[in-house]
Amino acid sequence: MKAFIVDRYKAGSALRFGDMPDPEVRDRDVLVAIHAAGLNQLDAKIRDGEFKLILPYRLPLIAGNDVAGVVVRVGPKVRRFKPGDEVYARPHQDRIGAFAELIAMDEADVALKPGHLSMEEAASIPLAGLTAWQVLVERAGLKPGQKVLIHAGSGGVGTFAIQLAKHLGATVATTTSTDNVELVASLGADVVVDYKKEDFAQVLTGYDVVLNSLDPRTLESSLKVLKPGGKLISISGPPDAAFAKDGGLSWPLQQVMRLLSLGIRTKAKRHGVAYSFVFMRSNGDQLGKIASLMESRVIRPVVDRVFPFASTNEAMAYLATGRARGKVVVKMK
């Protein structure tokens, strides 16, 4: 099958387009003919080698973490899916490979595609949707009446998280650039801070939760907007020891993660708030719940551009500019 491949870790390098063996189908696997794949900043970080300590892939590696397509074959122990089903998924982190013609995934990581969405729209959802769900629902336990700040509201995670937080009954603030103020407001943001004109840390106060996806400076400034007992949750690092332990990393790596996060954890404690790091994990059941929200029109996908599969490297370069509103997708069929 044709695929876009990481042969060696190198920052900013192009993925190689070439042939790879068709995936092995295990007992609980569904084999999916990929129709569309979403792009994420994670794809570039994996290509660049930023996660090689915690995600020790064997190269060559097929890239890609978001997929939508049609089931073509199932393993003998699969009970939830059959050939012909339209599905979407974020493959398990050990079995990524959405930038290809075929992918095999454990049925536990897969969900039926929301029926009204195109393949391209569906492929834009899994990683961003699961990230928002696992931060806001699982980690934060966001409740009606609480206040949440979602950084980078016009990005892939941000556009989804704003809508989910509003559905959960929260008051939502977000940061974005001037060009995207109307977009994030249309998604439900109650307070929009144009970072080109204002400093969010001088404008916002008394928040229960912050979802950070930006740099260390933004992370530290976010402490100022939280009230005592608040939660600062980052998806861009630094990772902490709890993440390393949950991920089954070795004791030495757990200590490395503890040291990496020591500074922000210490500052958070001084402010009377809690810091934690979330690294999204695959979960078909949660994708099923997300599909229900989308079919009820509670949440809508935001897709910036769709590239042909052959132009996957161009799509990666476009995402790297930081100008995408919502998600960037490649279309196979």
Predicted confidence (pLDDT) per residue in 222-254, tens digit:
999 999 999 999 999 899 888 888 888 888 888
| pLDDT recorded at residue 66 | 98
- 293-308 average pLDDT score: 97
| Buried-exposed string 102-111: b where 16+ CB fall within 10 A, e elsewhere | bbbbbbebbb
Identify the band that residue 180 occupies on the pLDDT scale cut at 50, 70 and 90: very high
Element holding 67 (H helix, E strand)? strand 66-74
Q: Which two tokens stand for residue 325?
A: 């509103």
Cα–Cα distance measured from residue 183 to residue 155, given in angstroms and rounded to the nearest whole number: 11
Per-residue pLDDT tens over the stretch 86-102: 999 999 999 999 999 99
Cα–Cα distance measured from residue 200 to residue 26, given in angstroms and rounded to the nearest whole number: 49
Residue with tokens 């998600």: 327
- In three-state secondary structure terms, 136 is helix
Q: What is the mean pLDDT of the chain?
A: 96
User: What percentage of the chain exceeds 90 in pLDDT?
Assistant: 91
| pLDDT recorded at residue 33 | 98
- 40-53 average pLDDT score: 93
Per-residue pLDDT tens over the stretch 162-176: 999 999 999 999 999
The fold of 127-277 is Rossmann fold (3.40.50)
Is 0.75 surpassed by the pTM of this model? yes
What residue type is assigned to position 222 of the chain? S
Q: Which two tokens stand for residue 216?
A: 């260390």
| pLDDT recorded at residue 245 | 85
pLDDT at 333 over 80: no
Instruction: Please answer whether residues 281 and 235 qualify as being in contact, where contact means their C-beta atoms are separated by less than 8 angstroms.
Output: no
Q: Which two tokens stand for residue 258?
A: 């503890």
Cα–Cα distance measured from residue 37 to residue 64, given in angstroms and rounded to the nearest whole number: 7
| pLDDT recorded at residue 249 | 82
122 against 243, higher pLDDT: 122
Nearest to 123 by CA among 69, 42, 63: 69
- 191-195 average pLDDT score: 97
What residue segments make up the domains of the chain, in order of their start?
2-124+301-331, 127-277
| pLDDT recorded at residue 124 | 98
Ranges of H-type helices in 52-198: 119-123, 126-133, 156-167, 181-186
| pLDDT recorded at residue 250 | 87
Instruction: Please answer whether residues 122 and 87 qualify as being in contact, where contact means their C-beta atoms are separated by less than 8 angstroms.
Output: no
Instruction: Please answer whether residues 133 and 286 qualify as being in contact, where contact means their C-beta atoms are separated by less than 8 angstroms.
Output: yes
The number of angstroms, rounded, from the C-alpha of 208 to the middle of its chain's C-alpha atoms is: 22
- 276-289 average pLDDT score: 97
Cα–Cα distance measured from residue 67 to residue 124, given in angstroms and rounded to the nearest whole number: 8
| pLDDT recorded at residue 145 | 98
pLDDT at 320 over 90: yes
Instruction: Please answer whether residues 227 and 212 qualify as being in contact, where contact means their C-beta atoms are separated by less than 8 angstroms.
Output: no
- In three-state secondary structure terms, 186 is helix
User: What is the DSSP-derived secondary structure letter of residue 112?
Assistant: E
- 33-39 average pLDDT score: 98
Look at the chain and count its residues. 333
The fold of 2-124+301-331 is Quinone Oxidoreductase; Chain A, domain 1 (3.90.180)
- In three-state secondary structure terms, 307 is strand
| pLDDT recorded at residue 200 | 98
